[in-house]
Structure 1
Amino acid sequence: MIITIGREYGSGGHDIGEKLAEKLGVELYDKEYLAERLKELGDYEEVQTFFEEKPANSLLYAIAREEADDRLSRKPFEEIRRLIGTRPCVLVGRCANAIFRQQEDHISVFVHADLDWRIQRIAQSNGISEKATKVLIQETDRGRAEFHRQYTGEEWGDSRGYQLSLDSGRIGIQQAAELILAYGEASWRWKEDNKGI
């Protein structure tokens, strides 16, 4: 099973991913891990912009939209698929919901939370003011939304792009991980019970 997690900044999506990976006994892959592996393989330069999460300028974006009917054939997506293959893992970020959408044993999750909850969480953990934290969250989320739209043509966080969307500010990190595990188990059981239908 591959679990992919998209998340608002400060919602705890990465922490949830760590808990899931630990409970399932699988690896957690994130931007840093994938970029490091591609550097080791000598393939990083071709996909560097993707890993720096910097959308191309609007002219390049417009050209890319015109030229790329099948966005999933883009080089960064191919490289991530090649690195991960079909081995069970938890993958945080990198448009992974779109990359693995066609894979049978894939569960995609989007984690969000109330802005005030995220501000408090990040301000405390980073030791910065709530005002600076709010700006950081808004800029990061805006960048992620633009980045996701550029590479997938989809709206980041739109529930139609994920199998499960949850509010970590209402249930906490631990319960969010438990909920995702329960969803995965229910999904697997349903598929087994409905084979051939």
Structure 2
Amino acid sequence: MSSKMIITISRRPGCGGVEIGQRLARRLRAIYIDKKTVSRAAEGLEAVLKESEDSGSATKFWQILGQTPILYDVESYIPEIRSIVSDSPVSDREEEILLDLAGEGPAVILGRAGFHRFRDHPGALHFFLGAELEYRLANYMRLYRLKEEDARELLHATDLATERYIHKVTGKDMLDLRNYDLAMDVGKIDFNQAIEVLLDYIHARTGEPI
């Protein structure tokens, strides 16, 4: 896979974005980046800058981090529920952190308005994962062990928070499919099939062996 390739995945909550994103990154031998990655990078960079007066330390930090695939154990990982309140301490430097983490690629970026932040990157492909409400609701009930009423309320709040975040950062509607190269209803196929569809599309667009 080209080192210049950047894959961004936008998704509606409850669509399995974490699992699909991580498994896609493994198949592509790419770094995986999501909200947790960005938060950890922000904390690490702050610590480096506090402990060192050497201006080159931050550059070295990014070089080391960018060479390390960041993957969690998909089987045991439960996605974070998006905070309804602002995470402004991270958001203030988020674009800088994302660009430094991704470097020249290859990278798979889940969320964080990646479709917008990497819109001018020549090697970027932008994907969107969606599904019907009932499919997403069932996933929330299973993942977070919630009763249907509680899961429905949480999913509604998370949908609103996600859409507001995207609009705040980009000024765009995340559900406008013109933002993406490919949109997929993951409720119609299983995750293995979804990943194969994405890989086939990447190959068709780049001509590179996967």
**TM-score normalized with structure 2 length:** 0.73
Is the partner of 2:27 in helix, strand or coil?
A: helix
> Which letter does structure 2 place at the counterpart of 1:175?
Q
2:44 is the counterpart of 1:26: no
Q: 1:76 to 1:88 in 2, by over 3 A?
A: same
Structure 1 residue runs of 5 or longer lacking an equivalent are 44-50, 57-73, 191-197
Alignment correspondent of 1:48: none
Q: 1:55 to 1:40 in 2, by over 3 A?
A: closer
Give runs of aligned pairs for residues 135-150 of structure 1, distance below 5 A: 135-150=153-168
Q: Distance in 2 between matches of 1:26 and 1:81?
A: 15
Q: 1:138 to 1:114 in 2, by over 3 A?
A: same
Q: Distance in 1 between matches of 2:84 and 2:182?
A: 24
Which of 120, 123, 127 is the equivalent residue of 1:109?
A: 127
Give the superposed CA RMSD: 2.1
Q: Distance in 2 between matches of 1:106 and 1:4?
A: 7
The number of aligned residues is 166
Alignment correspondent of 2:46: 42
**TM-score normalized with structure 1 length:** 0.78
Indicate if the aligned counterparts of 1:4 and 1:109 stay in contact, CA closer than 8 A: yes
Q: Distance in 1 between matches of 2:186 and 2:180?
A: 16
Indicate if the aligned counterparts of 1:55 and 1:150 stay in contact, CA closer than 8 A: no
> Which letter does structure 2 place at the counterpart of 1:27?
I
Alignment correspondent of 1:189: 207
Structure 2 residue runs of 5 or longer lacking an equivalent are 48-81
Is the partner of 1:171 in helix, strand or coil?
A: coil
Relative to its length, the structure with more helix (as a share) is 1
Residue 157 (structure 1) shift: 2.2
Indicate if the aligned counterparts of 2:131 and 2:185 stay in contact, CA closer than 8 A: yes
Is the partner of 1:144 in helix, strand or coil?
A: helix
Is the partner of 1:141 in helix, strand or coil?
A: helix
Q: Identity across aligned pairs (percent)?
A: 30
Alignment correspondent of 2:101: 83
2:151 is the counterpart of 1:133: yes
Alignment correspondent of 1:118: 136
Which of 159, 172, 175 is the equivalent residue of 2:193?
A: 175
Is the partner of 1:174 in helix, strand or coil?
A: helix
